Chains A and B, each alone.
Chain A
Amino acid sequence: MTRHSAEARVPVLFVVPAGLGLAILLLPLAGLLARAPWNRLGEILGSDGVLTALRLSVLTATLATAICLVCGIPLAWLLARGSFPGRSLLRGLVTVPLVLPPVIGGIALLVAFGRGGTVGSWLESATGTTLPFTTAAVVIAQSFVAMPFLVIAVEGALRGADRRYEDVAATLGASPWTIFRRVTLPAVAPGVLSGAVLCWARALGEFGATITFAGSFPGITRTLPLEAYTAIGAGDAETAIVLSLLMIVVAVAVLALLRDRWLVRG
């Protein structure tokens, strides 16, 4: 039995919509490249506003990733290994921020953590501080949208790990914590790494929840995407384009980094 090559069966009708789809995906990027002020690149990237936003973005995205790692790995462990009622419901809830419009996430955060909010009013009376419109709010907003990426990646890795290694470790006298640290964690390290990279990239690009919950204050809450948005609003297209290119470079780098693990299958 011979197999015909797949291309022989592509309906001609597909060429037009497929080309149109590609154009929708790629033309904007091409436009950015075409309009990029290449001779002023260094100058714009080195300007105070951009550098401040860049520094803030890297700081907040890294902090958010750290929070996601500290909270997300145990959460993933419970979802993968725990046996408690409502586990599958919980797994579904954890992924809600993935499909929720980020602005809605921001509103939810504001309602919960804002002045007079459920947690916010308690926090204010207990510590005298409020979260909204602070750098901490940026980190929380980023954690909110990025955590599912880490949890899903780590949970998948945990499910795929051979638990008999943990059994052997237990018979050798290892405590549950030692087993986790010396056997399980090294086994799922690639999953944790790819989850953390996705998480960081998502946090870096966070816009909607951040602007809603943290506002756009230079040096405090104005991260790279907010800086780009501010620039385009103020008619400074060149800065907006340069910042966009910067974010694209980061995104492509992330894709390249994760290519072998996640994005190419079969």
Chain B
Amino acid sequence: MSLLAKVAVRRGDFELDVTLEVSAGSVISLLGPNGAGKSTLLAVLAGLLRPDSAIIELDGETVIDTVKGTYVAARHRRVGLVLQDYLLFPHLSALENAAFGLRSRGVPRRRSRSVAAAWLARLGVGDVADRRPRELSGGQAQRVALARALAVEPRLLLLDEPLAALDVGTRPAVRADLRRHLADYDGCAIVVTHDPLEALVLGDRLVVIEHGRIVQEGTPEQVTRHPLTDYVARLVGLNLLRGSADGRVATVGPEAVVTLAHDAAGPVHIAFSPASVTLSPHRPEGSARNAWAGSVADMERHGDLVRVTVDGPVPVLADVTPLAVADLDLAPGIAVWASVKATEITVYPA
């Protein structure tokens, strides 16, 4: 089961224009900031929003072809949808919710219920089959919603922020479980999220969408190592600079150069971890060290460290210990030097 989608939607100023290919059995994490068009894309794929122009093929069957005028309605599309707040039908029990799709497709009540019960059991919520949605915990509701979607054996499974409604404590367990169930599922799955960890854990591939366009896609490793936009870099916790390289020097601004450990040429991305950045009150010594003057713009707690935003010709994030903050007497507005070893820098073509 595979998906090929070319979708264009225009709504006022916003324009979504993406091409997506998902191979059978794989899970795509669709990552992007709010308003990037993730949910719009999902709505088009599910058949809830008519695109201005699109070609969507599911398993070789054309579901939408705006040129030829093909349009398969949502109910004939066999696309499973699990939304952030799960939207279990409040007047039906968990079992009746899970059986809803089969009943709607004309499967007799008894058979629908036994299939639904099997799905609930498989997802570990067989014991709450008789409960109403309001009596379920967030994790249970999510599993029931997943069972409801999977019971009709969808060709494509769409999950919109499937963990966002859960409290932080239960999230890791439910996430691990969801990953297992997605691995068992043999159709294509697309998980929309803005949580990078969720995207990395659940997806075989990451697709990053910004302003209605796909800005980067690849394996989690490719994307985290080589972010192509500021948004992705921030998500994966890297500093990202763009510049033009000539030998071991890259120009990243009017007065800013970066010393590289290896030769490079032409437009490049330069990435380095905030942890590899050192802050000091004076220009540090050392030839292979890049040092840029700047001032502290912002400071926030980041795990055991403090993430300092340094503004200057080369804006960088630096992770330093609370001890260093005290030693350097760091506060917004204070002038500092940010330095990073050339060997800590990754360079890749832009």
In the complex, how many angstroms separate the beta carbon of A216 from the nearest chain B beta carbon? 45
**How does the 8 Å CB contact mask read for A177-191 relative to B, with 1 for contact and 0 for none?**
010001100110000
Residues in chain B near residue A165, CB distance under 8 A: 87, 89
Residues in chain A near residue B91, CB distance under 8 A: 186-187
- Assuming the A-B contacts A171-B48, A172-B100, A178-B104, are A164 and B75 also in contact, with contact meaning beta carbons closer than 8 angstroms in the complex? no
Q: Whole-angstrom distance between the alpha carbons of A168 and B74 in the complex? A: 9
> Is the C-beta of A23 less than 8 angstroms from some C-beta in chain B?
no
CB <8 Å contact, B46 and A173: no
Residues in chain B near residue A253, CB distance under 8 A: none
CB <8 Å contact, B104 and A175: yes
In the complex, how many angstroms separate the beta carbon of B102 from the nearest chain A beta carbon? 8
User: Which among B78-86, B167-175, B329-337 touches the partner chain?
Assistant: B78-86
User: Which residues of B in the span 38-71 have a Cβ within 8 Å of any Cβ on A?
Assistant: 46-48
CB <8 Å contact, B46 and A171: yes
Of A171, A174, A183, which one neighbours B81 at CB under 8 angstroms? A171
> Is the C-beta of A48 less than 8 angstroms from some C-beta in chain B?
no
CB <8 Å contact, B75 and A173: yes
CB <8 Å contact, B46 and A167: yes
CB <8 Å contact, B104 and A173: yes
CB <8 Å contact, A171 and B79: yes
In the complex, how many angstroms separate the beta carbon of B194 from the nearest chain A beta carbon? 19
Q: Whole-angstrom distance between the alpha carbons of A164 and B43 in the complex? A: 11
Task: With a 10 A CB-CB cut-off, give which of A169, A172, A178 has the most chain B CB atoms.
Answer: A172
**How does the 8 Å CB contact mask read for B91-125 relative to A, with 1 for contact and 0 for none?**
10000000011001100000000000000000000
> Is the C-beta of B192 less than 8 angstroms from some C-beta in chain A?
no
Q: Whole-angstrom distance between the alpha carbons of A174 and B74 in the complex? A: 9
Residues in chain B near residue A173, CB distance under 8 A: 75-76, 78, 101, 104-105, 152
CB <8 Å contact, A183 and B75: no
Of B46, B47, B75, B148, which one neighbours A175 at CB under 8 angstroms? B75
- Assuming the A-B contacts A174-B100, A174-B104, are A168 and B75 also in contact, with contact meaning beta carbons closer than 8 angstroms in the complex? no
Q: Whole-angstrom distance between the alpha carbons of A168 and B73 in the complex? A: 13
In the complex, how many angstroms separate the beta carbon of B305 from the nearest chain A beta carbon? 41
Residues in chain A near residue B79, CB distance under 8 A: 171
Q: Whole-angstrom distance between the alpha carbons of A164 and B81 in the complex? A: 11
Task: With a 10 A CB-CB cut-off, give which of A169, A173, A175, A187 has the most chain B CB atoms.
Answer: A173
Task: With a 10 A CB-CB cut-off, give which of B78, B100, B105 has the most chain A CB atoms.
Answer: B100
- Assuming the A-B contacts A165-B89, A169-B100, A169-B104, are A174 and B83 also in contact, with contact meaning beta carbons closer than 8 angstroms in the complex? no
In the complex, how many angstroms separate the beta carbon of B187 from the nearest chain A beta carbon? 14
In the complex, how many angstroms separate the beta carbon of A190 from the nearest chain B beta carbon? 11
Can you name 7 A-B residue pairings with CB atoms under 8 Å? A165-B87, A171-B48, A171-B74, A171-B149, A173-B152, A175-B104, A182-B104
Closest 8 CB pairs of A and B: A172-B101, A174-B104, A170-B74, A186-B91, A171-B81, A173-B105, A173-B104, A173-B75
Q: B residues near A, CB below 8 A?
A: 46-48, 73-81, 83, 87, 89-91, 100-101, 104-105, 148-149, 152
Having A170-B48, A172-B148, one finds 10 other A-B pairs with CB under 8 Å, namely: A164-B83, A169-B100, A169-B104, A170-B47, A171-B77, A172-B101, A173-B152, A174-B75, A182-B100, A183-B89
